[in-house]
Every structure is written in C-alpha cells, then in structure tokens.
Amino acid sequence: MAKTALCRTEECPKNGMKAVIAEGGLQLLLVSSGEAYYGYQALCPHMDVPLEEGFYDGAVLTCHQHLWQWDIHTGQPMGDAEEPLARHEVREEDGTLYLVTPETTP
C-alpha cells in the first residue's frame, strides 16, 4: 500500500470536515466522526458543488444546494440522494492523515 500525507489531524475539526487536494489533483473531503476519519469525493455527485460548504452533524452530510444527504460512515445515499459518495481509504498515523492506495506494479 502507498501512503500520501494529506494534513495534520488538528487541521480537520473534531466532528467536522476539511477539503484537501492530494498529489495528482485528487480532490478529497476529509471527515471526522468521533475518533474515526473518512475520505470521500469533495464534490457533490449531483451538481459538482463543494461538499465542504454543506451541513454535517457528525453522522449525516448534507449538500447545501439541493439537500442530498449521505451516511458519513458508509457514503451511502439517504433521503433524496440518488448516488453514493466515492470513498477513499484514509488512515491516521502519528497525528497525520494519509490517503492509502494500492501500489501498482509495472
């Protein structure tokens, strides 16, 4: 597995969220829920609205434009949302959040 540093854990508010751009331009939304961290696509799959501008109560993420909602623990749609969020593996180590991706062999 390859790891790419994204930010320090204190930069992602407790039970909050932070948008980051990983190496290669991948836009991610980092979300804190209790002691866990999750990584999802940064833009709403409906209209490409930044999800960081939405509402988050520690369990449900709501896009502020059209009120699509997702379960933050799974990325699965709730209510009127028609698509799940693309999830990316995020790991916390020594106060840093990393994007974890499978290594490719040439």
Output the tens digit of pLDDT for each of the chain's 106 residues.
899 999 999 999 999 999 999 988 999 999 999 999 999 999 999 999 999 999 999 999 999 999 999 999 999 999 999 999 999 999 999 999 999 998 765 5
Predicted pLDDT at 105: 54
Tokens describing residue 104: 């490719």
- φ/ψ (deg, to 5) at 50: -60, 120
Sheet holding 90-93, edge to edge: 2-8, 96-101, 90-93
DSSP string, 5-73: EEEEGGGS-TT-EEEEE-GGG-EEEEEEETTEEEEEESB-TTT--BGGGSEE-SSEEE-TTT--EEETT
Query: In 3-state terms, what secondary structure has residue 105?
Result: coil
Q: Using CB atoms within 10 A of its CB, is residue 69 exposed (0-12), middle (13-18) or buried (19+)?
A: middle
Of the CATH numbers 2.60.120.200, 2.102.10.10, 1.10.357.140, 2.40.50.140, which one belongs to the domain with range 2-101? 2.102.10.10
pTM: 0.91
What is the structure's pLDDT at 22? 93
Cβ neighbour number for residue 98 with a 10 Å cutoff: 21
